[in-house]
Structure 1
Amino acid sequence: MEKFTTHTGVGVPLRRSNVDTDQIIPAVYLKRITRTGFEDALFAAWRNDPEFILNQDAYRSGSILIAGPDFGTGSSREHAVWALKDYGFRVILSTKFADIFRGNTGKQGLVAGVISQEDCESLWKVLENEPGTEVTVSLENKTVTAGPVTASFQIDDYVRWCLMEGLDDIALTLRDEDAIDAYEANRPSFKPKTLPAKYLPKEEVKPARPVGLGMPSVR
């Protein structure tokens, strides 16, 4: 996962509340078996509207989304985060996120910061009055700057550290790879252990009822 400290990109004002994951990426796109290539699915239903914010030239290349309250509600699909990242978004700011969605963002390298409603309104005004305005987000200082407006945002300290270090769950585990190897080497062999499926002996599954015997008669 790429380290995140500071990012500057075009800000996108999304004046919509209660944006759920089905609006972020409709369920029809979940049949894909890959984790990339979901940029066309992002806000797919809304993008049929020529007036939708991402269809406007000034915002097409946006990478910082300023959204309304209760962003990411609904089902817990990780595809919602994948679609936002594949489109090019690096930061989502809102006054409130759904808990599961917010948890998924940190694991996928997407910054989800909580701002006040007052600051949200101020940022929207700047971005709407001056389309294409670049916004700078500092994860180190937990600030967002757009034109004359500078606001602070909140993010979990542990998630912030992981993002700044570029660590996902697998990378965090691999930091202790030597300790894990040492434990496995010294663990007594008589203790129970599991084996990957490919190493299990091939044993034929026997039927519960011997072959040739019919069903018992019912009287």
Structure 2
Amino acid sequence: MTDLVAFLATLHPLSQGLTAALLENTVQEALPARHLLLRPGQVARRVYFLETGLVRGYTLLHGREVSSWFMQAGDFVISIVSFFTQQPSEEYLELLEPAHMHSISSEGLQRLYNEFPEFNYIGRRLMEKYYVLSEQRAQRLRSHTAAERYELLLRDFPTIFQRVSVQHIASHLGLAPETLSRLRGRSGPPRAERK
């Protein structure tokens, strides 16, 4: 819990009351790799903070998995549309590594917003951060070449090839695995990649 409290305190000082309420409303979980936090048709009722681990968000398109995003330690994980509309999800949230995390329910989150004005500021800062990340991903797919998308991903997530399969990375970049292999061949592959 200290990682979560410390991270939130970087966004805004936490009162003792808010810290205590976070402890009351947050559940600690340790889950194995390949565990699905969410499947299509389920309603996302929790938001997760990763202390350790790696999560992939993906959808199925014509029977193929298309990776939308990857989140790692220090990130919040959520199916945004499903969580905020409380409608069934269209995406999967899958742990790619064993994870330790804290989660809070939709109801618990609303309680914190209602009882602690400073938590609204924290929530707004987090929404801004993840909205910007979402827009950046969309812009890269629309306006960058395959080589540029690859270089930006390596800049933002230098250890990705050690932690994520080439298939998942290729689908995230909107590339065929063969195209990704050619790009990597030009710049030299990172060592100890995952198959």
Q: TM-score, normalised by structure 1?
A: 0.24
Higher helix share: 2
Larger radius of gyration: 1
Q: TM-score, normalised by structure 2?
A: 0.26
